[in-house]
Amino acid sequence: MDQEAIPKPKHEKHNQTQASSNETSLLPGLPNHLSQLCLANINPSILFSVCHSWRRLIYSPSFTPFFSLYALLSPPPDHNPNSPIQFSSLDPISNKWTSLPSPPSDPPLHLLHRHPAFLSRKLPIQTLSVSGCLVLVAATTHKFTPALPRPLVFQPQSKQWSFGPPLPNPRRFCCAGTVEAKVYVASGMGTTYSGDVARSMEEWDMKGKEVSASWVKKAGLKDGRFSREAVEAIGYRGKLWMVNVKGNAIKEGAVYDVEKDTWQDMPQGMLGGWNGPTATSINDDDHHHDHDAMYVVDESKGVLSKYVDENDCWEVVMDSVVLREAEQVCAGRGRVCVVCANGTRIVVVDVVAPLPRIWVVEPPPMLEIVAVHILPRMCRLD
């Protein structure tokens, strides 16, 4: 589809162009603020196809944002491994990839996905979606040191990057997760291994207009077994759920109760079926989290399953050969998005349809997907 903005008149001053834009009538005979109330009930994909003024409206800060797919991108292994990580967003309406603004250059950002000496080994870049923001928590530099002394946050509505508070112990290969606008980092290692760091847990509260200025120390793990590799700490029903080994290997599970600040053992049924990348779909309107859903993709069999609390078991949603070699998954808005086959495709599953539907999204040319997240679309401020 054509996604051009309304052409700006030549030789016009910016304030004149802005005034002309503001006078554009959305619905004849109605003030624009009332027109927006009427148009807000229409699917944005329909508004996009009708006229330029409606198309521009759905990307404006005043219009409730629809959701897009955000991706971290890396060049393939046969390219320069020192090439920087890229950030893009896929607009589901226009079906076009758009690059995010560049992150701050001071200090320089060095996120290594593949080391020149170990091209077959992927180094993790740990990211979270928190309160509608993309948060980078941990990564590795080419010198095998922590790349992020403090979190890096992207806000889609303002299209701005910002830094979080400095981490008491910058780390890599850690457990990272979020529950109710709070970021948690546990275990892992710094430049070298430390038992104290490997057992520690820190919390950063991103709630409200003023984010807290520092990390808060929380109850630590009983040992350092969760520092072997990057771990997804899955926020689900007020707790963080995690395993210390990926895939189908024998693993240990742990559960952190956010409210009680205590650690528990993972239920055996959940642990037994945790055989691939996992994610949760959170219902923001349900404060009791009764309708939250946890999904896992069996990376060897290509089976997508949903956890059933009442029976402590995993229920098969669907299976497909394109889901094999799953590496990372995100969920939300009725979709489960799975990075597969060394980042060469994103498999999207509609899990709310009577019969789950599936389709494949290709990454931008000459790039591989590192991770994906579902977040509000970016505003267009022009």
Specify the residue for token string 């927006």.
Answer: 36
Residue 216's pLDDT band, with cuts at 50, 70 and 90, is very high
Q: Residue 2: pLDDT above 50?
A: no
Q: Residue 233: pLDDT above 70?
A: yes
Q: Residue 25: pLDDT above 90?
A: no
Q: Residue 77: pLDDT above 80?
A: no
Q: Are 125 and 151 in contact (CB under 8 A)?
A: no
Question: pLDDT value at position 119?
Answer: 55
- Please report which residue ranges of 101-237 form alpha helices under DSSP H: 195-198
Q: Can you tell me the distance from the alpha carbon of 5 to that of 67, in angstroms, rounded to the nearest whole number?
A: 20
Q: What is the largest CA-CA distance in the chain?
A: 69
Rounded to an integer, the average pLDDT of 306-316 is 96
Q: Are 196 and 188 in contact (CB under 8 A)?
A: no
Residue 254's pLDDT band, with cuts at 50, 70 and 90, is very high
Q: What is the pTM of this model?
A: 0.88
User: What's the token pair of residue 199?
Assistant: 């057992």
Indicate the range of 10-14, 225-229, 251-255, 329-333 predicted with least confidence: 10-14
Looking at per-residue pLDDT, the higher value among 187 and 289 belongs to 187
Question: pLDDT value at position 376?
Answer: 96
Q: Residue 326: pLDDT above 90?
A: yes
pLDDT > 70 fraction of the chain, expressed in percent and rounded: 87
Question: pLDDT value at position 3?
Answer: 32
The H-or-E segment that residue 122 falls in is strand 118-122
Q: Can you tell me the distance from the alpha carbon of 193 to that of 210, in angstroms, rounded to the nearest whole number?
A: 34
DSSP 153: E
Rounded to an integer, the average pLDDT of 76-82 is 69
Looking at per-residue pLDDT, the higher value among 373 and 29 belongs to 373
Question: pLDDT value at position 228?
Answer: 80
Instruction: Calculate Rg over the CA atoms of the chain.
Output: 22
User: What's the token pair of residue 81?
Assistant: 């491994």
DSSP 85: P
DSSP 172: B
Indicate the range of 12-16, 176-180, 369-373 predicted with least confidence: 12-16
126, amino acid identity: Q
Q: From residue 186, how far is each of 86, 168, 220, 297 by CA, in Å? A: 26, 12, 8, 24
Q: Return the closest-CA partner of residue 194 out of 219, 217, 169.
A: 169
Question: pLDDT value at position 24?
Answer: 78
CA atoms within 13 A on the CB side of 84: 9
Rounded to an integer, the average pLDDT of 249-276 is 95
Q: 356: cis peptide before it, omega within 30°?
A: no
Cβ neighbour number for residue 312 with a 10 Å cutoff: 14
Q: pLDDT, tens digit, for every residue of 109-139?
A: 889 887 776 655 789 999 999 999 999 999 9
Residue 229's pLDDT band, with cuts at 50, 70 and 90, is confident
Q: Can you tell me the distance from the alpha carbon of 50 to that of 162, in angstroms, rounded to the nearest whole number?
A: 36
Query: Residue 373 — φ and ψ, nearest 5°?
Result: -145, 150
Q: Can you tell me the distance from the alpha carbon of 56 to that of 93, in angstroms, rounded to the nearest whole number?
A: 13
Query: Residue 203 — φ and ψ, nearest 5°?
Result: -130, 135
In sequence order, what are the beta bridge partners of 89? 70, 98
User: What's the token pair of residue 182?
Assistant: 């709070």
